[in-house]
Amino acid sequence: MIVRSCVEGELAAAERGRGPIPSLLRERCAIRPGDRVLLAGSVEYGVLIVHTMSTVEAMLACHHAAHDGQEAGEAL
């Protein structure tokens, strides 16, 4: 999920680093309340990218499969 900043936006991060994700977006991305996600943001582009942990695991598996057998410390 990619979220862009909006001056007229209604959502904001709460104390303790928690931020609401509207139910429609949670449903579309199969995120349940309480699920852990990885947030990656760019101030320059004004975006926040939300990755589910299953997506992170799949990306890491693909990355490691593509570089399997590469020497430790070798540039990717």
Amino acid at 9: G
Report if pTM > 0.85: no
CA angle 53, 27, 9 (to 5 degrees): 95
Could you read off the pLDDT tens digit of each residue along the chain, which spans 76 residues?
776 766 666 665 666 666 677 788 888 888 888 888 888 888 888 888 888 888 889 989 998 888 876 665 555 5
Q: What is the pLDDT of residue 61?
A: 92
Query: CA–CA separation, 49 vs 35, rounded Å?
Result: 15
